[in-house]
A and B are shown apart, each in its own frame.
Chain A
Amino acid sequence: MRVILALALSVLALGWGVPAAYAQEAYKIGAIFSITGPGSSLGIPERDTALMVEAEVNAKGGVKGPDGKLHPLKLVIYDDASDETKAVLAAKKLIDEDKVTAIVGTTLSGTSLAILDTVQKAEVPLVSCAAAAKIVEPAAERKWVFKTPQSDFLITGVLADYLKAKGLTKVAWLNVDYAFGQLGWIEFEKAAQKAGLTIVANEKFGQKDVDMTAQLTKVKAANPQATVIWSIPPSASIATKNYADLGIKAPMFQSHGVGNKKYIELAGPASNGVLFPAGKLLVAEQLTDNDPQKAVLLAYAKDFEAKYGARNTFGGHAWDALYIVLGAMQKAGTDRAKVRSAIEATRNFVGITGVFDFSPADHNGLDRRAATMIQIVDGQWRMAK
């Protein structure tokens, strides 16, 4: 009997003793990405980047907390399948079961908007990787929510000013009929008004549509000087091919949603000459040496391409989100409220998407320097002239 008791005690003692002897308490961050479903061309590079960051941080021994000790980083990643309901379930699971300190993601505007309530009520900091400005505005009502991609109005502003500068004032517009496209339209309409552009056609298509010829026929009939298509692949690529097949001569502009090689690969030669506003990552090598982001961009592009293939802006959004949260945890540890305040106090963070300056009034923290016009030339990205 005594032997058994002794054994049991020693097992217990071992059980208790081992983790304490090994390492500090892990810092847990949750992540929700659209690894499957229509958003997967964005979500997969985000997941890949997140895993890369986790490995990178842990290779250095972990995150140095405010206690001065190194804590291993533990990422809990869920796939929301590009679906709003699944995103909410994943957020609840991260908060209630996994008890993460903060959440990065989701990939898509629709899913991010869907989980706002959940994270706000549970008072968990969220750094979204989705574009829509509505996710963080008004900042007073989005106390716990931040995001890293350039807001729609920033991107559409850069685009509208470029169109105006080139004298392309008669513009046709098409967008995919879910949150990304619809919110893009709302912001572009405002930016176009400000820049004095005339919208001569306004058409919609579905992300799973097989043919956009009917919509583009109306565009062709409207005889625009430029056409803007706001979507992501594959529908963005189908529209590009249809556009070329119909022989529409007006230059085509796309959104930052086509900032990956998949778009070019699917659209083929039809993508030649397409212009779009996006972050500087795609043209990092062509930046001037005094650009504050150049070094960070080149390092990330090198690491990512060594492991996963061609770079794209979406992975960069996840890189920014994770390192912003990690920076806050270095100052604030695992206390959710303190981490939130530390994120809000982040200044001059040189990221992939841009240089972030968060404030209580601005939970995106970027300005127009975070976007540039890029042109696809023979399957390669070039800074547009």
Chain B
Amino acid sequence: MTVTDQLAQYLASGLVVGGVYALIGLGFVIVYSVTRIINFAQGEFVMLGALLMVTFEARGLPAAAAFACTVAAVAVLGALLERAAIHPLRGAPPLAALIVTIGASIALRGGALVVWGTDPVALPPFSPGPPHHVLGATVVRQGLWVLAVAAVVFAALWFFFTRTYPGIAVRACAVNARAARLMGIRVDRMFLLAFALSGALGAVAGAVIAPITYATYDMGLMLGLKGFVAAILGGLVSPPGAIAGGFLLGLLESFSAGLISSAYKDAVAFIVLIVLLLVQVAGWLPWRVAEET
């Protein structure tokens, strides 16, 4: 295996994992930019996406229908979470809501433990077959699915946020909630929409990676943290930033595991997070991690 082949392999692995981080990171950004809440239950949406996908397929639904049901179910759950736990807290400081989301994440994990048990479960790839070879790198078919689904989601979100009335309304709330309210936008509806969207995004991420990683009740925590790092890397309020941040993190992990040492792969991700947060506090960052309203 030549050095270029190795580099191509790191690039390919980094892009696939990065696509997942980007999807999860987007969920954080959409909720944060509208509500100023960091939703720590985002990782659990991913876990539910993966486990529900497995369950629906096991019940005999074809993959496409199972995928649609999974995404719809988790989107509804995201909306329910907002109505049940976040909405009653409006007016309270964001810290209170943040703690509620941590509580929700623990509750969802506990619930999944009861429903699905502790054993990891496998999901067949969307299209079975041997892996592809691109420029010396091996890419499993499901890896291409991850990238393709991520691309479709990014395009759909771009269309939604720039070309549709509700999308523009969501952005208006993100820029200035009070002004948006004065313009007649129902801000609390936008909160609901943001949570439902982030639930759907998490479910998409979970469903596409389940064939690669298996699904377990406790997979959400680590994936959620990685998605959070991706969102921070992208400035926390910018969807394109989160996408770039996700891919950057995936590549960073893959290349640092390959070129430096795999012992420090996770350390690299979290050192990046800590450095970014410190630099942000010191005000050296060219983009702002969290815009004040």
Interface residues of A in 260-318 (CB under 8 A from B): 262, 265-266, 268
In the assembly, what is the distance between CA of A218 and CA of B209, in Å? 23
Contact between chains at B1 and A217 (CB < 8 Å): yes
Interface centre among A35, A209, A213 (most CB of B within 10 A): A213
A205: Cβ under 8 A from any B Cβ: yes
B188: Cβ under 8 A from any A Cβ: no
Contact between chains at A38 and B218 (CB < 8 Å): yes
Closest to B133 in A: A247
Contact between chains at B9 and A217 (CB < 8 Å): yes
Interface centre among B1, B14, B209 (most CB of A within 10 A): B1
B266: Cβ under 8 A from any A Cβ: yes
Interface residues of A in 197-245 (CB under 8 A from B): 203-206, 208-211, 213-215, 217-218, 220-221, 223, 233-234, 237-238, 245
Known contacts A210-B20, A213-B13; A262/B254 CB under 8 A: no
Binds A, one of B76-84, B118-126, B175-183: B118-126
In the assembly, what is the distance between CA of A129 and CA of B178, in Å? 60
Contact between chains at B16 and A211 (CB < 8 Å): yes
Contact between chains at A40 and B118 (CB < 8 Å): yes
Known contacts A214-B258, A218-B6, A218-B258; A233/B120 CB under 8 A: yes
- Which residue of the partner chain, among B6, B138, B218, B263, contacts A37 with CB atoms under 8 Å? B218
In the assembly, what is the distance between CA of A246 and CA of B8, in Å? 13
Residue numbers in B under 8 Å from A44 (CB-CB)? 118-119
Known contacts A211-B17, A215-B262, A217-B9; A40/B119 CB under 8 A: yes
In the assembly, what is the distance between CA of A41 and CA of B120, in Å? 9
B144: Cβ under 8 A from any A Cβ: no
A359: Cβ under 8 A from any B Cβ: no
Contact between chains at A217 and B214 (CB < 8 Å): no
Closest to A36 in B: B118
Known contacts A210-B213, A211-B212, A217-B10; A204/B138 CB under 8 A: no
Number of A-B contacts (CB under 8 A): 100
In the assembly, what is the distance between CA of A266 and CA of B210, in Å? 12
In the assembly, what is the distance between CA of A155 and CA of B14, in Å? 35
In the assembly, what is the distance between CA of A220 and CA of B223, in Å? 27
- Which residue of the partner chain, among A36, A203, A220, A266, contacts B122 with CB atoms under 8 Å? A266
Residue numbers in B under 8 Å from A246 (CB-CB)? 9, 131, 138
> How far, in Å, is B135 (CB) from chain A's closest CB?
13
Interface string of B1-23 (1 = CB under 8 A from A): 10001100110111011001000
Residue numbers in A under 8 Å from B262 (CB-CB)? 203-205, 214-215, 218
In the assembly, what is the distance between CA of A238 and CA of B254, in Å? 16
> How far, in Å, is A141 (CB) from chain B's closest CB?
29
Q: Give chain B's interface secondary structure class.
A: helix
How many residues of A sit at the interface, in one of the four size bands?
35 or more
In the assembly, what is the distance between CA of A40 and CA of B237, in Å? 38
Closest to A238 in B: B213
Interface size on B, residues (CB 8 A): 39
In the assembly, what is the distance between CA of A40 and CA of B16, in Å? 28
Interface string of B217-245 (1 = CB under 8 A from A): 01101110000000000000000000000
A357: Cβ under 8 A from any B Cβ: no
Residue numbers in A under 8 Å from B1 (CB-CB)? 217, 220-221, 223
In the assembly, what is the distance between CA of A214 and CA of B258, in Å? 5
Closest to B12 in A: A213
Residue numbers in B under 8 Å from A362 (CB-CB)? none
In the assembly, what is the distance between CA of A51 and CA of B122, in Å? 28
> How far, in Å, is B213 (CB) from chain A's closest CB?
4
> How far, in Å, is A212 (CB) from chain B's closest CB?
8
Residue numbers in A under 8 Å from B171 (CB-CB)? none
Interface string of B136-171 (1 = CB under 8 A from A): 001010000000000000000000000000000000
Residue numbers in A under 8 Å from B218 (CB-CB)? 36-38, 208
In the assembly, what is the distance between CA of A233 and CA of B216, in Å? 11
Contact between chains at A211 and B138 (CB < 8 Å): no
- The 7 A-B residue pairs with the shortest CB-CB distance, nearest first, are A40-B118, A234-B120, A210-B213, A214-B257, A213-B13, A217-B9, A221-B1
Please name 7 further chain A to chain B contacts, defined as beta carbons within 8 Å, in addition to the given A220-B1, A234-B120, sorted by A numbering. Answer: A37-B118, A210-B20, A213-B12, A214-B253, A214-B255, A238-B214, A262-B119
